[in-house]
A and B are shown apart, each in its own frame.
Chain A
Amino acid sequence: MVVTVEYTAQLKRAAGTAREEFELSESSTLLDLVNAITDRHGEELTRMLKSPDGTPQSTVIPFVGDDQARWSASTALRDGVTITLLSPISGG
């Protein structure tokens, strides 16, 4: 299946793109997607997306379509869906 990933704020800057597609095997989950992203990109984006123990950073908020998903829920993806990875930002 093919999914689209949208990055925001610092994640977008580290990825060097606002959106890109990933081809994943059927029944892939959000965690599989994060591994695919970090395989494609460099150290900076990997550091933002994963904790030192390899689990997703809890402060990056994933959305499948317009609905928030939980990293812990092993969310299964489906063909054609857009996943937004929301970077934490602040005021000032």
Chain B
Amino acid sequence: MPQPLPLNDEERATYEWQIRVDDFGETGQEKLKGASILVSRVGGLGSVVAYELAAAGVGKLVLAHAGNVKHSDLNRQLLMTHNWLGKPRVESAERRLRELNPRLEIVAVGENVSEENAESLVSQVDIVVDCAPLFQERFAMNRQAILQNKPIIECAMYDLEAQIMTVIPGETPCLACLLPEPPPEWRREFPVFGAVSGTVGCMAAMEAIKVLAGFGEPLAGSLLTFDLRNMQFAKRRVLRNPECRVCSGI
């Protein structure tokens, strides 16, 4: 977990409203200042996660996302802008985040997470937020988070629905406990509104803040599901798989 760093007067003024939150306080803010988070990718989910974490005053973000901004990104990827079409997504994200928080350290990586780079990317941070669309990316991050004993927030969306779960290595189910293999019928492109990815992105940022600062009750061992079509929310209990290929030995 992060080493707290003392706040200066500007930071106290910037974060004054959240420092008033019960159980958080200046101690919590100092933990956020010392914290580092990997967000992969910075699309519909990750843009909002990164933006909220930057606003909350975390010390360092590692952002991993390949490719250039396309028209079809702009309904939900809030760190991308029309004038950045055709240019690298991760550069747009870095530019927008610096406008919000010039104190933030950003490591912008123009690659998606893979088996090859996951170990290095996860090693640079205290916690991971998985916002990736492809299951091979998600499994690579999950595996490294477990191996390196780093919490990982899993979030996903479809249509007006979303799911979110927080994995604490050795304590809770991991992604591979729930999904032992890539789903055969899953499709890369799917319907979604930006307001749905934004909703679950805000929740993921709040989960990361709670875990980093050590307050509240994260979704550890629970999967929150919701459907904004009828505003039905459920907090469901999930099980560790004693035969999980990733976390069963931990």
Q: Which residues of A contact B (CB under 8 A)?
A: 8-10, 13, 18, 47-48, 57-59, 61, 63, 66-68, 70, 84, 86-92
Contacts and interface: CB of A to CB of B under 8 A. Distances in A.
Nearest 7 Cβ contacts at the A-B interface: A92-B133, A59-B183, A88-B183, A9-B158, A91-B131, A89-B158, A89-B156
Interface of B: 41, 43-46, 130-135, 138, 155-159, 161-163, 178-187, 190, 192, 197, 223, 225, 227, 230, 234-239
29 contacts: A8-B158, A9-B158, A9-B159, A10-B158, A18-B230, A48-B185, A58-B181, A59-B179, A59-B186, A66-B237, A67-B236, A68-B236, A68-B237, A68-B238, A68-B239, A70-B239, A84-B236, A86-B163, A86-B223, A89-B158, A90-B138, A91-B41, A91-B43, A91-B138, A91-B156, A91-B197, A92-B43, A92-B190, A92-B197
A91 B238 contact: no
Given A10-B158, A63-B236, A66-B234, A88 B44 contact: no
A8 B192 contact: no
Contact of A91 (B46, B161, B179, B230): B46
B161 A8 contact: yes
Contacts of B161: 8-9, 89
B236 A66 contact: yes
Contacts of B155: 91
Most chain B CB inside 10 Å of its own CB: which residue of A47, A48, A66: A66
